[in-house]
């Protein structure tokens, strides 16, 4: 895929679900391979259209399912009707708050720099891309100043700047148009929300304020200010302290939750409770009993088996790591399995598979041990 196509995809992904572009790849039938060029082109075009239609249908189905889920969670479909007079006031409010071009203006605060950054990364200006193109270590490229990097990129691609400018000129209008299509539904949804949240007097006061020069200035800018680089930077800087707070309080939170009653498993239910559950689920009680007995089957020394299986998994993982070290060395390319001998690669893969199986066995044994312990405690 050419660079400009990467840019087009990046711009489109900003406003639509990515899977809309993930048309299923199909192998060309033999008839297509030997067909004349015009016929091949026609078949290819038909296949592309069919794949795109299928992708659109799948996207719409997922959106419809998401809508139903949101309606169910929040009960939106069960809300009472909004009085028409109240809705009219709210529509006046949201029209002032979301005038035409609001969403595009919001992105303008950051979009230019953001898109330019993407172009730089993919188009050849990033340290990584320059390293890949030239084979020079990234550390050496990082030590260069921006002027030198730009000169290198221009030498490798003399038309880079023209290409980037062209992509900007093509993609940005498309995204601006799409964002304009979103404004109507956004205003409408906000109108219903405002009509339910604020009374007629409050909506009237807002509308009076937005009619003033100061109010109009605020309404024009409030949305774009949400994406102002200073606001975004401040929020990003606030993330680590927030996460640290939760990490520091981890032991305290764990202590508050550890005494909560555990949820019941099928093995914890009496026959009477199991019969009640079967009735509620409208299934034969034998189905539930079979499931319960499957997890509650006694195992000799189950806890010891779990520990042994976990140890076996750890030993296998360590052996796999040793094999990787023996096959690799300190030079990074040696970690590429394509550079290993067939014997080393086979040994590592077999040990990794053994580690995975041992880990799974350890988990199963642990669950059995827990079920047996609960059963023993009930007695």
Higher-pLDDT residue of 80 and 361 is 80
**What is the percent of the chain where pLDDT is above 70?**
73
Do 52 and 177 share a domain, yes or no?
no
HEC string for the chain: CCHHHHHHHHHHHCCCCHHHHCCCCCCCCHHHHHCCHHHHHHHHHHHHHHHHHHHHHHHHHHHHHHHHHHHHHHCHHHCCCCCHHHHHHHHHHHHHHCCCCHHHHHHHCCHHHHHHHHHHHHHCCCHHHHHHHHCCCHHHHHCCCHHHHHHHHHHHCCCHHHHHHHHHHHHHHHHHHHHHHHHHHHHHHHHHHHHHHCCHHHHHHHHHHHCCHHHHHHHHHHHHHCCCHHHHHHHHHHHHHHHHHHHHCHHHHHHHHCCCCCCCCHHHCCHHHHHHHHHHHCCCHHHHHHHHHHHHCCCCCHHHHHHHHHHHHHHHHHHHHHHHHHHHCCCHHHHCHHHCCHHHHHHHHHHHHHHHHHHHHHHHHHHHHHHHHHHHHHC
Residue 274 placed within a domain = no
Higher-pLDDT residue of 98 and 158 is 98
Residue 267 placed within a domain = no
Do 169 and 197 share a domain, yes or no?
yes
Residue 240 placed within a domain = no
pLDDT at 328: 45
Higher-pLDDT residue of 376 and 262 is 262
Do 69 and 98 share a domain, yes or no?
no
pLDDT above 60 (res 297) = no
Q: What's the pLDDT band for 367 if we cut at 50, 70, 90?
A: confident
Do 52 and 69 share a domain, yes or no?
yes
Q: What's the pLDDT band for 113 if we cut at 50, 70, 90?
A: low
Do 176 and 70 share a domain, yes or no?
no
Most confident of 26-30, 32-36, 264-268: 264-268
14 Cβ partners below 8 Å, 6+ apart? 175
pLDDT above 80 (res 293) = no
Residue 5 placed within a domain = yes
pLDDT above 50 (res 178) = yes
pLDDT at 315: 60
Residue 252 placed within a domain = no
Residue 13 placed within a domain = yes
pLDDT tens-digit series, residues 123-152: 556 777 778 878 888 888 889 888 888 888
pLDDT at 97: 93
Do 55 and 167 share a domain, yes or no?
no
Do 208 and 320 share a domain, yes or no?
no
pLDDT at 185: 93
* Number of domains observed in the structure of the chain: 3
Residue 261 placed within a domain = no
Q: What's the pLDDT band for 29 if we cut at 50, 70, 90?
A: very low
Q: What is the mean pLDDT of the chain?
A: 76
Higher-pLDDT residue of 31 and 36 is 36
pLDDT at 226: 81
Do 89 and 172 share a domain, yes or no?
yes
Contact 142, 127 (CB under 8 A): yes
Do 305 and 347 share a domain, yes or no?
yes
By residue range, what is the domain housing residue 8?
1-79
pLDDT at 111: 55
pLDDT at 8: 41
Pick the last residue of a domain from 188, 203, 227.
227
Pick the last residue of a domain from 27, 46, 79.
79
Do 88 and 205 share a domain, yes or no?
yes
pLDDT at 39: 67
pLDDT at 11: 45
Pick the last residue of a domain from 177, 192, 227.
227
Residue 178 placed within a domain = yes
Do 24 and 161 share a domain, yes or no?
no
Do 153 and 94 share a domain, yes or no?
yes
pLDDT at 22: 39
pLDDT tens-digit series, residues 179-217: 888 899 999 999 999 999 999 999 999 999 999 999 999
Q: How much is the average pLDDT of 359-370?
A: 79
């Amino acid at each position: 895929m050419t660079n400009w196509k990467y840019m087009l995809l990046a711009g489109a992904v900003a406003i639509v679900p990515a899977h809309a572009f993930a048309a299923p790849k199909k192998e060309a039938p033999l008839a297509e391979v030997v067909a004349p060029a015009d016929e091949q082109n026609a078949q290819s075009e038909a296949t592309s259209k069919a794949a795109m239609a299928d992708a659109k249908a799948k996207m719409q189905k997922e959106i419809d399912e998401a809508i139903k889920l949101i309606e169910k969670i929040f009960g939106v479909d069960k809300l009472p009707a909004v009085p028409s007079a109240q809705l009219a006031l709210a529509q006046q409010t949201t029209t002032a708050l979301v005038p035409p071009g609001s969403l595009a203006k919001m992105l303008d605060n950051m979009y230019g720099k953001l898109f330019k950054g993407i172009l730089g990364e993919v188009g050849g200006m990033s340290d990584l891309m320059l390293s890949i193109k030239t084979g020079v270590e990234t550390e050496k490229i990082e030590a260069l100043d921006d002027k030198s990097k730009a000169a290198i990129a221009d030498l490798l691609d003399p038309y880079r700047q023209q290409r980037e400018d062209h992509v900007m000129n093509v993609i940005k209008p498309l995204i601006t148009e799409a964002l304009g299509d979103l404004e109507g539904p956004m205003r409408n949804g906000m109108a219903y929300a405002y009509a339910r949240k604020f009374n007629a007097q409050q909506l009237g006061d807002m509308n009076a304020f937005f009619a003033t020069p100061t109010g109009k200035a605020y309404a024009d800018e409030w949305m774009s200010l949400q994406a102002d680089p200073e606001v975004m930077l401040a929020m990003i800087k606030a993330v680590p302290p927030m996460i640290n707070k939760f990490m520091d309080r981890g032991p305290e939170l764990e202590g508050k939750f550890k005494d909560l009653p555990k949820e019941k498993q099928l093995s914890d239910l009496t026959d009477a409770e199991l019969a009640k559950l079967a009735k509620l689920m409208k299934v034969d009680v034998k189905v539930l009993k079979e499931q319960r007995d499957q997890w509650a089957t006694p195992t000799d020394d189950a806890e010891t088996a779990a520990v042994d299986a976990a140890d076996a998994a750890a030993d296998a993982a360590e052996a796999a790591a040793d094999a990787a070290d023996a096959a690799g060395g300190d030079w990074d390319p040696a970690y590429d399995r394509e550079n290993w001998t067939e014997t080393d690669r086979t040994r590592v893969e077999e040990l990794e598979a053994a580690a995975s199986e041992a880990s799974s066995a350890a988990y199963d044994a642990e669950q059995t041990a827990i079920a047996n312990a609960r059963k023993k405690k009930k007695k």
